[in-house]
C-alpha cells in the first residue's frame, strides 16, 4: 500500500456522552480520546461548557432555525480541545414536526482540499427541530436545556460522521 496516498485518520475513539448543560451550554460524560490527521489528543469531560456563537467553518454567526424548520450542528474539538461547532443545512419539517429531507452536514470537505478537518474532529452532532409552536432558535444563544417549548433537541455521539444525520 502506498502510505503517501492514504489520509491519516480523523476520528473520535470514545463515546463522548454529549448532552445539554444548563441553558445554552453543553456537557460530555467522558474523557474523549480523538485523533486529527493521525495525531492523538485527549479532552477531559466537559460540564456546562460554553457553546460557540459562530460557525467554525465559516466564521459567521449561526443561522437561526425558524418555525417548521430543522438543522444539524456538528460538534467537535480542535487540537487544543476547544469546542467547535459547524452548522449544516436548514430543512423544512412536515406537519408532524419531522424532517421532510434530512439535513446535510456543513463545512466538512475532502481532506487536504482546504477543508475544516485539518484541525477539527467531530465527536457528535445535534439536530434541532423547531415545530409550529416553537420560536426561531439559534445555536449558542438559544437554550439547549429544557428545551424551549416547540423545540426538539436530539443528541448523537459518533466516531466519524455518517453521510447524513440520523433523524429518527
Contact 91, 103 (CB under 8 A): yes
Confidence of residue 150 (pLDDT cuts 50, 70, 90): very high
Say what percent of the chain tops pLDDT 90: 79
Instruction: Report if residue 106 sits inside a domain.
Output: yes
> Given a cut of 90, is residue 118 above it in pLDDT?
no
Confidence of residue 111 (pLDDT cuts 50, 70, 90): very low
Give the three cell numbers for residue 120: 477539527
Instruction: Report if residue 98 sits inside a domain.
Output: yes
Instruction: Report if residue 126 sits inside a domain.
Output: yes
Q: Give the residue numbers spanning the domain of 101.
A: 3-157
Distances (CA, A) of 131 to 65, 85, 148, 167, 168: 10, 23, 11, 15, 15
d(CA 154, CA 125): 8
Q: Give the residue from 127, 131, 140 showing the smallest Cα distance to 50.
A: 140
Average pLDDT estimate for 141-165: 93
The CA radius of gyration of the chain, in Å to the nearest whole number, is 16
Q: How many domains are contained in the chain?
A: 1
Please report, in angstroms and rounded to a whole number, the separation of the first and last CA atoms in the chain: 39
Give the SS3 label for residue 2: coil
Instruction: Report if residue 29 sits inside a domain.
Output: yes
d(CA 97, CA 67): 10
Report pLDDT digits (tens) over 15-29.
Answer: 999 999 999 999 999
Instruction: Report if residue 128 sits inside a domain.
Output: yes
Instruction: Report if residue 164 sits inside a domain.
Output: no
* Residue 139 phi, psi dihedral angles, 5° rounding: -60, 135
Instruction: Report if residue 166 sits inside a domain.
Output: no
Strand-pair partners of 155: 126
Instruction: Report if residue 74 sits inside a domain.
Output: yes
Report pLDDT digits (tens) over 39-78.
Answer: 999 999 999 999 999 999 889 999 999 999 999 999 999 9
The model's pTM is 0.91
Amino acid at each position: 500500500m502506498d502510505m503517501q496516498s492514504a489520509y491519516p485518520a480523523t476520528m473520535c475513539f470514545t463515546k463522548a456522552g454529549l448532552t445539554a448543560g444548563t441553558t445554552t451550554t453543553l456537557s460530555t460524560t467522558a474523557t474523549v480520546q480523538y485523533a486529527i490527521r493521525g495525531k492523538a489528543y485527549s479532552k477531559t469531560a466537559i460540564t456546562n461548557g460554553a457553546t460557540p456563537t459562530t460557525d467554525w467553518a465559516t466564521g459567521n454567526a449561526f443561522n437561526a432555525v425558524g418555525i417548521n424548520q430543522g438543522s444539524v450542528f456538528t460538534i467537535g474539538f480542535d487540537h487544543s480541545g476547544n469546542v467547535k461547532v459547524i452548522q449544516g443545512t436548514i430543512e423544512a419539517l412536515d406537519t408532524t414536526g419531522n424532517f421532510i429531507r434530512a439535513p446535510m452536514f456543513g463545512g466538512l470537505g475532502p481532506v487536504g482540499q482546504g477543508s475544516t478537518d485539518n484541525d477539527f474532529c467531530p465527536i457528535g452532532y445535534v439536530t434541532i427541530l423547531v415545530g409550529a409552536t416553537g420560536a426561531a432558535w439559534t445555536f449558542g444563544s438559544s437554550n439547549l436545556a429544557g428545551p424551549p417549548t416547540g423545540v426538539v433537541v436530539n443528541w448523537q455521539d459518533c466516531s466519524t460522521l455518517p453521510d447524513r444525520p440520523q433523524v429518527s
